[in-house]
Structure 1
């Protein structure tokens, strides 16, 4: 049986998703931010013998399913197909795969990326080195955005001063930077979608001509150390296996693939 979820179902929801905070970062964050009654989102659950076994979140036009077992793919597909206008589906690949052939829309864009998580840094961080790292201040937002836009791999990325302000105000993200001896901002690393249990690492980059000097790693070490000390599980997306090796040396482990599909 599939039905709409409400605040009375919260304990059941967290029993299903709470022990995998990295895998369910977006669902947990949206529930904490908007609850079960906001117009901006809806949640449905599949129950078997009165136990919640699968969940489907709609945040605006984006749908995210989660289950640890076979679920009612036809039922979830029917909910998604009844939506009007543009829509997106995202989630762990093994959950999305059975849904794909049932969505009656033309695919506009499909992207799959590696998904990794971390619960502890795999080596002892040299605290003295971290003195080179500083928390990004409001007066530095534009400099940071300009630096990130100068990095070829981030071409087309969604970086803005407004987003930096919003994340700081909402406490859903933070950024650490390194400047060299000449005062140039040479690297940064950020978190986003922070919630009480998890956070996503994004925007790890080094200004062109300053690569391979350990600057981005320093930012990562500071950011991840702080988030882990707060009891958060960390996760990130990556496309480049070489970049993945850097993250794995720090303690990230692949969860699998994350699929994102945009439909007309």
Structure 2
């Protein structure tokens, strides 16, 4: 394809591109928003601005990240601070900002409250655990599918870990992991049965934040389950905040500060040549990865 021609957007020579589960859903044709064709996957890149040579991290709302050159608006392009490598920067772009806003904007997490994080070993989950700890959460419960993933989540700061594969008993397991008490906040992205189990585990005024449906299936919820305990079900997708002045810039600043101070440590779970993007998708769909996945467009 030809090199994109910048108008007002920033043209970036891509060093690394990030992989997100949203890319898988775009490819499958089941993403929550329409995908105009033809379409180049990839909503986040790190590289050099062609006009200034500055090293930047950019969120690309219109895609195009799986490439040697990408375009992004000025408003979603940020200078990468010294000391933060490409993979760490990419982990903070979509998944880091999503985790920050889920906890602070949507769930309005208060110090001392309990939090459960489903898909706890993924790129978003690993950051959500650390951000919840940084925010002063009282008890953090990691939900993941394998012993290795649960062990990794515990090392990041979770106080307990629950097996996500046993959906039938997930509600009881979450409550037990929280010392017999129902939870204040649950972050849910699998969809279907796990969403219903998470809702049932909420305390009075508990908040279920839904930010995906990795299973490819969505849940149908009975509103009586919400009324019974004054619960809230909140949806969050990051692109909706892009047009809001300063909103992404604020969370990005918070994430840079937390990363530089060591309060959060992004984990890169794999780097693939762009020519093996299919393998990266297979691995993330097969739940064989931990942390952030990165593509190298030079290979």
TM over 0.5: no
Of structures 1 and 2, the larger Rg is shown by 1
TM-score, normalisation: structure 2: 0.27
TM-score, normalisation: structure 1: 0.30
Higher relative CO (CA 8 A, sep ≥ 6), structure 1 or 2? 1
Q: Which has the higher strand share?
A: 1
